[in-house]
Amino acid sequence: MPAARRATRLIFLVSGIGMSAWAPMVPYAKARLGLDDAQLGLALLAFGGGSMLSMPFVGWLAHKLGNRTVIVASGLLMCAALPVLAMVSSVAMLVATLFYFGVMLGAVDVAMNAHAVDVERLDGGRLMSGFHGLFSVGGLSGAAVMSGLLAAGVPLPLAAGAIAALLVATVLWLRGDLLDDAPSADAPRKEPLGMPHALAWLLGLLCFVSFLAEGAMLDWSAVFLRDFRGVAPASAGFGYAFFSVAMALGRLTGDRIVGRFGPAWAVRIGAMLAAAGFMLVAGVSGAVTSLAGFVLIGLGASNIVPVMFSAAGRLPGTPPAIAIATATTLGYAGLLSGPALIGFVAHASSLPVAFAGVAGLLVLVGLSARIVKL
């Protein structure tokens, strides 16, 4: 079991590094292909679209073939996209590669979370927040390492290839320690029939709100600091950095919190803390106060999704991979559509009002927390 825990942590780390390594490459792709902001935005939709479209199918595939098989295959295929993204020479190639990259990352996401549920169940303790904490660490380190290599003068294709090679080696090394959950020949898994458990959809809706809050920080925190708090554009990115570090710390300590207070109270406390952070940002002037609010949002939101995924994986009558695929798909829908929804509300009123609306949705998440015990 210690080996399986370590392997699960590593695959979450690999996924975070793989996803975030693309971020420093975006300006290079934009300049190489001569794209304006609107064209780039449309191309980037292929990444999220690929992830969302793959997740329901991957849930079925992981249930049929086993999580380990899907993790290893999609993990290796995901790595192949990084050097290609560093060299794409046309918009069509960029869109196709981003779609492929999204499909593979979505496959890893579903299978690794389903595998994490199995490891957590066998261990008997609370592990999911820690696993997601390693994903956050990977997200921070992947972008930092890629940026550092580029700043040191390493050519982009070589930097992307080096990171991809490291991730491939890691996946090949950890595959033997992942749980062998493939169905045996004499006891094949039955194809799941019917729709996922109704609670899986409800958990997914709560994930939608949490991911929406994360998307709000990713796409709107810098704009808010610049336009409403007078922060210089060069420093406006600190808002998301404070949020990201707080989320990583919250997840790395989250298993102890969930173990002490229980999953329902962990969600209640986290949702209310995140809602308070949004209200602090929206309602109190001052850049320092807003940064403190971003920290509260990161700490509060950090353990909502891990608890929801763990709860989805334990639902009776629905295979873990199927339930998690449902929750993950709805969650990603919030991440992708949330920033646009916030933009519409901000256009009709103001960005602080939109942030206050997110706070209200998080309050509803807190009030619905009891479902994680059902």
Q: What is the DSSP letter of 184?
A: P
DSSP states along 260-307: HH-HHHHHHHHHHHHHHHHHHHHHS--HHHHHHHHHHHHHHHTTHHHH
Least Cα distance to 312 among 103, 134, 16, 113 occurs for 113
Our count of domains for the chain comes to 2
CATH number of domain containing 13: 1.20.1250.20
Residue 181 is predicted with a pLDDT of 77
Do 167 and 202 reside in the same domain of the chain?
no
Is 183 domain-assigned? Answer: no
Give the residue-averaged pLDDT of 127-145. Answer: 89
40-44, 198-202, 342-346, 355-359: lowest mean pLDDT where? 40-44
Domain-located, residue 202: yes
Residue 328 resides in a domain? yes
Has this prediction a pTM greater than 0.75?
Answer: yes
Over the stretch 174-229, which tens digit does the pLDDT of each residue have?
999 999 877 655 544 444 445 677 888 999 999 999 999 988 887 788 889 988 99
Mark whether 146 and 220 lie in a shared domain.
Answer: no
For residues 170 and 207, state if they share a domain.
Answer: no
Please give the full DSSP string across 345-356, using - where no structure is assigned. Answer: HHHHS-HHHHHH
Could you tell me if 192 and 60 are in contact, meaning their C-beta atoms sit under 8 angstroms apart?
yes
Domain end residue (candidates: 126, 146, 177): 177
Cα 258 to Cα 306: distance, rounded to the nearest angstrom: 10
Residue 8 CB contacts under 8 Å (≥ 6 apart), including other chains? 112, 115, 116, 119, 127, 131, 178
Q: Is residue 182 part of a domain?
A: no
Residues 170 and 217 in one domain: no
Q: Which residue segment(s) compose the domain that 351 sits in?
A: 198-373
Residue 292 domain-assigned (yes or no):
yes
Last residue of a domain, one of 147, 177, 207: 177
- Same domain (yes/no): 220, 110: no
C-alpha distances in Å from residue 30, one per residue of 34, 82, 147: 6, 16, 16
87, part of any domain:
yes
84 has pLDDT over 90: yes
